[in-house]
């Protein structure tokens, strides 16, 4: 339990650092209202996402209502409000994948991970997204796991993909544990 | 002053009046949701206030049109009614339609329009498509928002901006998921300012925005009624 709290604190700290960085960077930015979208793009480009706290900062900087900035940011698909996970899952919902049941795959992932599309798991391990088309319609339905393309995905394969990532994480952790005592002695 | 003819009736109104306003002022009702008196640029988004004007190829929204001398307007032709009914169907096919439980029952603009167009509030021609949104959004310290009742007319957004507050309501998200957002108003200090103003709650035509206290009282009343009924 305390481990979990440490984790949460770490994430809070990280977000606070990002907000501080945004606050520090803003005074150098133009204050023209027309710069709203470039500004949001800049923040997302630097930090990978738009923290909700950052929207209030941008609003203050441009002297706009925070809800207006939020309205603009939520209108465009390019802005995300959750940090990318270590394993970004992109479920293709282009025409071919849609026809072959991409929606079901997305639903499977969302149920398995307990997050909705566009969200990130609490431990920052997975983030779930929908994309329009990844360009390999012959392999539909397709899911991008990081840079890797998973083809002909079925509900049972969803479980397999997650298990594979978990196993790899475990292997990496064990390797690290093996390594650490050695580095201590050195 | 300008004189125009609406449904055979001659009316005289000041220059630069909006046609919809001119009709409403003279007792001719045209269904409308998104228009408010004094708007600089009416959004003309609800598409309910369409009228036919002689010499124009098709029906036009009367809220965004200024009166011109000698205009001959028809508000109840078949084509106009057809379009109004379709716009209304599109509005109510995503709506909850549980009037009896609603706080705005009997003073709801949708009910008034339904009566005017002789339409049911649950249309059969279009599939009922409830929005996949939470039933209530209680982000705001003193206002509750019910997205499934909201027709997104934007009146509340307009009046809130009109108050000149630092904070204002806005639309958030896109398409089917569009909601009215209170972002930035979650802090307690804002609650008092909103409690004093309430302009958005007062202007909402369908009862999607309510004060939290009022809603709680209403729910208690409904529960008591249901209990009494057995």
pLDDT in tens, A88-142: 999 999 999 999 999 999 999 999 999 998 899 988 899 999 999 999 999 989 9
Token pair of A130 as six digits: 């929908």
d(CA B142, CA B182): 11
Would you report the helix, strand and coil content of chain B in percent, each value rounded to 5?
Answer: 35, 15, 50
CB A54 within 8 A of CB A43: yes
**Share above pLDDT 70 across residues of chain B, in percent, rounded to a whole number:** 98
> What secondary structure letter does DSSP report for A100?
T
Cα–Cα distance between B76 and B161 in angstroms, integer?
A: 34
**pLDDT tens across A34-77, in order?**
999 999 999 999 998 999 889 989 999 998 888 899 999 999 98
Instruction: Name the region of B200 (left: φ>0; alpha: ψ -120 to 50; beta: rest).
Output: alpha
Cβ of A75 and B174 within 8 Å? yes
| Tens-digit pLDDT profile for residues B32-64 | 999 999 898 999 999 999 999 999 999 999 999
Question: Which phi and psi (to 5°) does residue A131 adopt?
Answer: -125, 160
Token pair listed for A137: 């319609």
CB-based contact B181 A55, cutoff 8 Å: no
Residue B3 φ then ψ, to 5°: -110, 130
| Both structure tokens of B98 | 């549980």
Q: Which residues of A touch B190 (CB under 8 A)?
A: none
Residues in chain B: 230
Of B43, B75, B67, B72, which is closest to residue B157 (Cα–Cα)?
Answer: B43
Name residue, tokens 């996970």: A85
pLDDT score, position A76: 92
Kindly list the residues from chain B whose CB atom is less than 8 angstroms away from the CB atom of residue A65. Answer: 165-168, 170, 184
Contact status of A144 with chain B (Cβ, < 8 Å): no
pLDDT exceeds 80 at position A7: no
Cβ neighbours of residue A123 under 8 Å, at least 6 residues apart?
Answer: A7
Indicate yes or no: CB of B181 within 8 angstroms of CB of A70: yes
Contact (CB<8Å) B184/A74: no
pTM: 0.83
Nearest-angstrom CA–CA distance, B217 and B219:
6
What is the side-by-side strand order in the sheet with A143-145?
A: A126-131, A87-92, A143-145, A148-150
Contact present, A94 and A136 (Cβ < 8 Å): no
Report A:38-57 residues touching B (Cβ under 8 A).
55-56
Written as tens digits, the pLDDT of chain B (230 aa) is 999 999 999 999 999 999 999 999 999 999 999 999 989 899 999 999 999 999 999 999 999 999 999 999 999 999 999 999 999 999 999 888 788 888 999 999 999 999 999 999 888 888 988 888 899 999 888 999 999 999 999 999 999 888 876 667 899 999 889 999 988 777 767 778 888 888 999 999 999 999 999 999 999 999 998 899 87
Query: Residue A44: what pLDDT?
Result: 93
- Of B69, B105, B110, B67, which Cα lies nearest the Cα of B91? B110
A1 band by pLDDT with thresholds 50, 70 and 90: very low
What is residue A111's predicted lDDT score, i.e. its pLDDT? 93
Confidence (pLDDT) at B139 = 87
DSSP 8-state secondary structure symbol assigned to residue A163:
H
The ipTM assigned to this model is 0.85
Q: Which of A82, A73, A44 is nearest to B181 (CA)?
A: A73
Looking at residue B183, what is its pLDDT? Answer: 87
How many interchain CB pairs under 8 A, A with B?
Answer: 45
What's the first-to-final CA gap in chain A, in angstroms?
A: 33
Host H or E run for residue A92: strand A87-92
Q: Work out the minimum CA distance from A32 to partner chain B, whole angstroms.
A: 17
The nearest CA of chain A is from the CA of B173 a distance in Å of: 5
Hey, is the C-beta of A104 within 8 angstroms of any chain B C-beta?
Answer: no
The sign of the CA dihedral A84, A89, A95, A101 is: negative
């Amino acid at each position: 339990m305390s481990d979990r709290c440490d984790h949460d604190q770490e994430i809070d700290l990280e977000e606070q650092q990002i907000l501080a960085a945004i606050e520090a960077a803003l005074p150098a930015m133009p204050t023209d209202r027309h710069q709203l979208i470039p500004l949001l793009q800049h923040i997302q480009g630097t930090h990978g996402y738009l923290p909700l706290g950052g929207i209030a900062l941008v609003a203050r900087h441009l002297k706009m209502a925070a809800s207006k900035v939020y309205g603009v940011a939520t209108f465009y698909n390019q802005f995300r409000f959750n940090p990318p996970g270590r394993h970004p899952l992109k479920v293709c919902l282009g025409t071919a994948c849609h026809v072959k049941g991409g929606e079901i795959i997305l639903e499977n992932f969302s149920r398995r991970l307990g997050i909705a599309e566009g969200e990130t798991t609490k431990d920052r391990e997975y983030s779930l997204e929908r994309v329009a088309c990844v360009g390999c319609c012959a392999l539909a339905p397709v899911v991008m796991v990081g840079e890797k393309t998973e083809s002909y995905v079925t509900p049972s394969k969803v479980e397999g993909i997650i298990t594979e990532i978990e196993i790899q994480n475990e292997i990496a952790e064990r390797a690290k544990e093996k390594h650490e005592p050695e580095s201590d002695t050195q | 002053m300008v004189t125009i003819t609406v449904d055979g009736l001659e009316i005289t109104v000041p220059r630069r009046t909006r046609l919809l306003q001119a009709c409403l002022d003279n007792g001719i009702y045209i269904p409308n949701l998104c228009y408010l008196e004094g708007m600089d640029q009416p959004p003309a988004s609800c598409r309910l206030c369409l009228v036919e004007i002689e010499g124009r190829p098709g029906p036009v929204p009367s809220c965004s049109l200024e009166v011109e001398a000698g205009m001959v307007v028809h508000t109840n032709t078949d084509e106009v009614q057809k379009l109004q009914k379709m716009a209304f169907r599109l509005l109510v096919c995503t709506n909850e339609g549980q009037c009896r439980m609603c706080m705005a029952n009997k003073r709801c603009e949708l009910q008034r329009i339904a009566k005017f167009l002789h339409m049911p509030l649950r249309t059969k021609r279009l599939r009922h498509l409830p929005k996949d949104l939470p039933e209530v959004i209680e982000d705001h310290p003193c206002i509750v928002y019910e997205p499934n009742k909201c027709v997104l007319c934007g009146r509340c957004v307009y009046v809130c901006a009109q108050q000149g507050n630092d904070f204002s309501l806005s639309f958030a998200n896109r398409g089917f998921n569009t909601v009215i957002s209170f972002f930035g108003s979650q802090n307690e200090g804002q609650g008092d300012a909103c409690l004093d103003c309430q302009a958005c709650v007062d202007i909402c035509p369908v009862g999607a925005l309510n004060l939290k206290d009022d809603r709680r009282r209403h729910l208690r009343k409904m529960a008591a009624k249901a209990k009494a009924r057995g």
